[in-house]
Amino acid sequence: MLEQLFSSLEKYYDEMVSIRRYLHQHPELSFKEEKTALYIKNYYENLGIDVRANVGGNGVVATIKGQKPGKTVALRADFDALPIQDEKDVPYKSLVPGVMHACGHDGHTATLLVLAKALHEMKNDLHGTYVMIHQHAEEYAPGGAISMIEDGCLDGVDVIFGTHLWASEPVGKIQYRVGPIMAAADRFEITIQGKGGHGAQPHRTKDAIVTASSLVGQLQQIVSRKVNPIDSAVVTVGSFVAENAFNVIADKAKLTGTVRTFNEEVRSSIEQEIERIVKGICYTSDSSYSYEFERGYPAVVNHEEETDYLVNCARNIAEVTAVEETEPQMGGEDFAYYLQHVKGSFFFTGAKPDGNENYPHHHPMFDIDEKSMLIAAKTLGCAALNVHNQENALETESAQV
């Protein structure tokens, strides 16, 4: 059955590339993906596959039912873009000013659509049910996963798999990890309210810039002195705004930043520690403050058994040249919410363009090697089918005993 699936995927590879390039030319931002969602919906309807649109917003869910009994497996791809100007000189460059698929979500979507087409052609021989989750708004919290789950995209699902095309790693490499693979991604905002005045009379002011500058330095000590070295964490101040003239002492300064963690206790501890530091520094400078800590996506935590399925499949795919356990990544992903509801695994598929400078995700020059989509489709498809093969093998073994 795998040979049939792989043969179909290879046959439809050019279509996969064509879909990806069309989507790359027509990106849409998070929560605004109406045309992309319609494109996905129409693709399934033209194939005669059962599809439900407007799931939790702009989400789309397609269902393929095999003719034989078995588990329900979900496969997920995201399809939103980013507010970045595409600077590549390629025929499929974004046609939307200031909007770009700079993270590979166009490739994720093309991969899942063609995989669904191949599975649909095999439905008479398939065990169980396959649910194709096309998720909107992964890039922007609260994300689309929560609303899609609330709207029933995981109803009846036994296991879920997903992948991210990973442009920092060469094509042919699959990276996996049991347990936490991506971090919880939170945001904080701190506003310092002092007392402004003339730059030549600092003694009559409460300098918000000085107070905020002291705060930036103290925040860097949270990870080094308040977090167990065995645990991983990041506290980053990403912006510092205090708009005034050169000879004016600012009365207000705003800091925004991000916190990345894997452990929920560490996550809560850092949230409290930030405010404790802010409160102390503002007390010594006789200033007031406001503090907001916005929790984003939780950590992506893979399940062991499902990850083992994935690893075994990847090692038997001809195009896969390396299968390695990766270090946890500090980036965030709302695939985490699916794994809180059902067992599954999320992995990285190497997609570094051959012979080109390696531009990172979210860069104006970002691109992928499109051969990575075929590898991703084969790995996802193999993992999905393997759930049923494993289930059948266990049933046969039990009967023999």
Find out whether 177 and 289 touch, Cβ atoms under 8 Å. no
Question: Is residue 203 annotated as involved in ligand binding?
Answer: no
Catalytic residue list contains 325: no
Question: Is residue 282 annotated as involved in ligand binding?
Answer: no
CA–CA gap between residue 306 and residue 301 (Å, rounded)? 12
Question: Is residue 362 annotated as involved in ligand binding?
Answer: yes
Question: Is residue 103 annotated as involved in ligand binding?
Answer: yes
- The single residue of 33, 86, 106, 138 carrying the catalytic annotation is 138
CA–CA gap between residue 336 and residue 341 (Å, rounded)? 9
Q: What is the DSSP letter of 247?
A: T
CA–CA gap between residue 307 and residue 301 (Å, rounded)? 11
- The single residue of 78, 80, 207, 251 carrying the catalytic annotation is 80
**Beta bridge partners of residue 162, listed in sequence order:** 76, 346
Helix, strand or coil, per DSSP, at residue 116: helix
Find out whether 27 and 85 touch, Cβ atoms under 8 Å. no
Catalytic residue list contains 80: yes
Phi and psi torsions of 189, nearest 5°: -140, 130
Question: Is residue 361 annotated as involved in ligand binding?
Answer: no
CA–CA gap between residue 260 and residue 367 (Å, rounded)? 26
Peptide bond connecting 229 to the previous residue in cis, omega within 30 degrees of 0: no
Binding positions are: 103, 105, 139, 164, 362
- Residues with a known catalytic role: 80, 138
Q: Indicate the annotated binding residues for Mn(2+).
A: 103, 105, 139, 164, 362
